[in-house]
Every structure is written in C-alpha cells, then in structure tokens.
Amino acid sequence: MVRVLSGIQPSGRLHIGNYFGALRQHLALQQDNQCLYFMASYHALTTVQNPQEMRQNTLDVALDYLTLGLDPSRTLLFRQQDVPEVTELTWIFSCVTPMGLLERAHSYKDKVARGIMPNVGLFSYPVLMAADILIYRSHLVPVGMDQKQHIEITRDIAAKFNNQFGEIFPLPDGYILEETAVVPGLDGRKMSKSYGNEIEIFDEGPDLKRRIMGIVTDSTPVEDPKDPETSTPFVLLKLVASPEEVEHWDQRYRSGGMGYGEIKKRLLVLLDEHFAPLRDRRRELAGDPDYVEDVLRESGRKARMMAHETMELVREATGFPISYAPPD
C-alpha cells in the first residue's frame, strides 16, 4: 500500500484555500492509501512563538480535519512534537546537506521578501521537512506547486544520505495537487494567512458577510461586459456552485449589466450552505476534548513506532546505535 504523508502548519485557523487546495484531496487519498497527516508545529515555531496560540491553533487544525472527514480508524492524525525522533533525524540530515541546496530554496527567499524575520529555523525548513517525510519512509507527498522544490530537496537529501551510509530511504514522489484548486484570497492573491486575505472554513454570520462583501474587484461599470476568469468572486463561486449555475454567471459577466455585489451576495449564500452542516459537528467535537486527545495520542504513538524503526537503521548506519526500549 502506498504511504502518503503531509503536514499543515498550525499558524492560524484553516481557510477555504486550505480546504479546496489541499484538505479535501488529503481526505480523498485516505480511501486507498496509508495516510499520515500531522500538525507541523516545529515548522510553525519559525513564526508563531506564543505558546497559548500554538496550542489552540494545533487543536483547531485537528478539529478541522476530524470535522471534514478524516477517519482515525484508517488514517493517522498527530502532532509533530509527539515524534521527537524527527528532530534527531533533522540534525543528521543537516550534516549531509550542502548549504547551497538550502540557499536556492524559493520558499525562504519569498518569506524574507515578504518581511518575515529570517532565522535559522526558517532557513533550514527544508531539512526538517525532509526528516518529516523520510522518517516514515513515505512514498507520496501531496503538495502544491509552490512546495514542489521542497520535494526535490528531500529527494536530494535522501540520495546523499543513502550514498554515504547505505540505502535506507526510498525517494518519495510529490503528488501535485490540482492546479484548479489554487484559491484566491480577498485581495486576489493566493489565499494565505500570511497575507491576511483568508476566508476561514467555519466563518459564519456577520464575519463571513464582511469578508465576502469586502472582496476586491475592479471598477468596470455595471453595464459593461466583464471577464469572469479574472474576477475573484467568480473564481470562488466556481468552487461551490453547480456547473449550471457557473454557466449562468459566466454568461451574465460577459453580457454586461451585472454589478459585483450581486455575485458576492450569491457567493455568501453558497459558502454558508456548503459548510453549515459541518459547523454543528465541529462544535460537538470541540465539546469532547478527551476524544480529540485520544485520537492524537494514539496516532502519535503509532507514528512514533514507525519513526523508531527508521531511526534504529539510521543510528546503526551512522555509527550511533543506542540501547533503550522503543517508545510505548
């Protein structure tokens, strides 16, 4: 069975870009594969350094996954920090990773360009990501196009380790998530917590209305034809409307005589209807923290056993065998 692994940073509440861009595809993959999904807390620590915020964000991500359909009987959902062996492997990988490989990472350059204070953790992010993937000897890693380079770096690191110490790690493949699921934010850029342009999955009421009605549009007069494919409200509507309704709005855009307020109001109704049935489920799960903790603890235990098996091979290969009982 193919082993699939992905992590998501608990750096804030998840938004519909996360859902349509990745989460729903993660959930679909669990039907025919062995899936491991984790809250990438160590990665989030590069920017989130408030302990209460980190704990709450981590819980929120777990609640969202479980609400949206993750099946803990067949898929592991765990906290990155519950597998401390990953940090040990990160150090070992850092000793075989050339500096030049990390200096070419697009993600680091992009974050610095956006004003994020550079630190060692941000710079060495791809090494930790490689350890996350390889410690479970994963075969497939679902990523967006912006993360494709990190999979290439992971493969390079695995190859360098294998060449130096012996064949331990399979070279994972990236599973590029659907291009059509790149979701624009309120300002037209890719929806992202770091841009502050997101619509949270479980937004409702006045908060949801304020965000939808605040979507940035151009100044094309109402009577003029408009290009739907360059319009953020239309692109978002395509995610939740039927094909027939999408065609209706496409024609209205191209015919002219339509104001953006009309499609924003319809988008508000459709998004509200799409996620409304899940809100009660999320509130129910949030009211049962013991269940959520049990899921995370048991998944973390299983993931750590897998990591322990890998690290025994790595320690032996690198000359660092240790004697202790495996984690419970």
| Catalytic center residues | 111, 190, 193
45, 54 in Cβ contact below 8 A? yes
Assess contact for 123 and 155: CB atoms under 8 A. no
Q: Tokens 């669990």 label which residue?
A: 30
For residues 317, 318, 324, 325, the Cα torsion angle rounded to the nearest 10 degrees is -40
- The continuous run of DSSP H or E covering 321 comes out as none
β 75-79/3-8 pair status: unpaired
Instruction: Tell me how far apart the alpha carbons of residues 108 and 28 are, in angstroms, rounded to a whole number.
Output: 30
* Alpha carbon distances (Å) from 21 to 25, 26, 183, 319: 8, 10, 7, 42
Integer Cα distance of 18 and 268 in angstroms? 18
Output DSSP code: residue 223. T
Contact 10, 80 (CB under 8 A): no
Quick one: CA torsion of 149, 91, 171, 325, rounded to 10 degrees? Answer: -140
Residue 5, phi then psi, degrees to nearest 5? -135, 140
Q: Which two tokens stand for residue 205?
A: 């009421």
User: How many whole angstroms separate alpha carbon 18 and alpha carbon 239?
Assistant: 13
**Residue 112 token pair:** 């610095």
The position carrying tokens 């729903």 is 24
